[in-house]
Structure 1
Amino acid sequence: MWTIPNILTTLRVFLIPIFVIVYFLDWQWAHQTAALLFWLAAITDWFDGYLARRLGQTTAFGAFFDPVADKLIVCAALLMIIHHYDTVWITVSAILLMSREIFVSALREWMAESGKSAEVRVSFIGKAKTMAQMLALIGLLSELEVFMGIPIYWVTLGKILLAIATVLSVWSMLLYLKAAWKHLVAE
């Protein structure tokens, strides 16, 4: 069970309270450090999947725990940006993103129990949504618009990417629902 990919996934879960605590610390670079920790967690998500396939270390525990770890850290970050930015459109985007994750997870579980999991496999749109979402959250958590006197507009880019992630999220959810619909309405 304790393969390198599973250790990385577990590390990602342990990073959640650390990155949340760091974000709320009262020091100048707290938000940027928390964004860096979130980025590190996002990178471990890519590495654990890559290493599991490359090293032949895929496990049932990893297949279960990896998506759970992803959803936990993303939901924590979404709640933090809702709290910090306190705007309707960020709140609506975050709610749509979290709702989609719950919906698609439940749909995949149901389809797997029905022996139809291949019909709701991760799609390119889902992967693009994840990439846009992770980059958006890093930018919004960091709050950086200027770095060492150079305008970088990370927050502005984060807001744009969050909107893109939200659209891709709803789109991919509808595609998964379409793929599963005939099984959901079958008697």
Structure 2
Amino acid sequence: MKLTVPTMLTLLRIVLIPVLVLVFYLPFRWTNFLAAAIFAFASITDWLDGWIARRYDQYSAFGAFLDPVADKLMVATALFLIVQAHPTPWMALWAAVIVGREIAVSALREWMAELGQRAKVSVATVGKVKTVVQMVALICLLYALRPDRPVYVDPWMGDAVFVIGDWLLAAAALLTLWSGFEYLRAAWPTLLREEKR
């Protein structure tokens, strides 16, 4: 198995997951900033590995498998940390919607790939918008929340970062439902055809 630069960036994202968890729980005032920075860096590598793979034709089967796994693990971990630090019904609901949709769409894509119809459930524009909104929301919330305090009060921005992150996470959850519906709608004719067989 050849390790390309995009694959190494994807592996780096996976390595950063336990680092994110450790940093989030460290008892220092600056750890919220570092946790947000780690997640932001991981988000940038997610974009960068795709760009390098396309620009320099460095595709690999292993990288294609690992990339979405790394993304989902990083996002799910960040959501779990945020819900633990701010355990409200709404925050838990948004997290459940996002994680649940990722599981459902992953299963749908795998099933469509087995039928040779993977292209019908390729990433749509609404999915890309959802990803950007979700990443910004998670960066804001990782910065604004601490496990030892419900809301971290920043001397420069107060609770504004938390409010922005909270609303953006709600928007990301709604976009998640929308994009999930779009994937299901694209796959529906194939589902019906297979059901009749």
Give how far 1:182 is off: 1.4
Secondary structure in 2 matching 1:115: coil
TM-score, L = length of structure 1: 0.96
Task: Give the equivalent residue in structure 1 for 2:95.
Answer: 94
Q: Does 1:163 align with 2:170?
A: yes
**Any unmatched runs of 5+ in structure 1?**
none
CA–CA separation in structure 2 for the residues paired with 1:112 and 1:150: 47
Give how far 1:78 is off: 0.5
CA–CA separation in structure 2 for the residues paired with 1:28 and 1:38: 18
Contact kept in structure 1, 2:144 and 2:159, CA below 8 Å: no
| Residue 84 to residue 152, structure 1, CA distance change in 2 (3 Å) | closer
**Any unmatched runs of 5+ in structure 2?**
146-151
Amino acid in the other structure paired with 2:62: F
Give how far 1:31 is off: 1.6
Number of residue pairs aligned between Structure 1 and Structure 2: 187
Fraction of identical pairs, as percent: 48
CA–CA separation in structure 2 for the residues paired with 1:13 and 1:172: 25
Moved over 2 A (4+): 144-152
CA–CA separation in structure 2 for the residues paired with 1:84 and 1:147: 16
Contact kept in structure 1, 2:144 and 2:153, CA below 8 Å: no
Give how far 1:12 is off: 0.3
Amino acid in the other structure paired with 2:44: I
TM-score, L = length of structure 2: 0.91
| Residue 183 to residue 96, structure 1, CA distance change in 2 (3 Å) | same
Task: Give the equivalent residue in structure 2 for 1:39.
Answer: 40
Give how far 1:149 is off: 2.9
Give how far 1:49 is off: 0.3
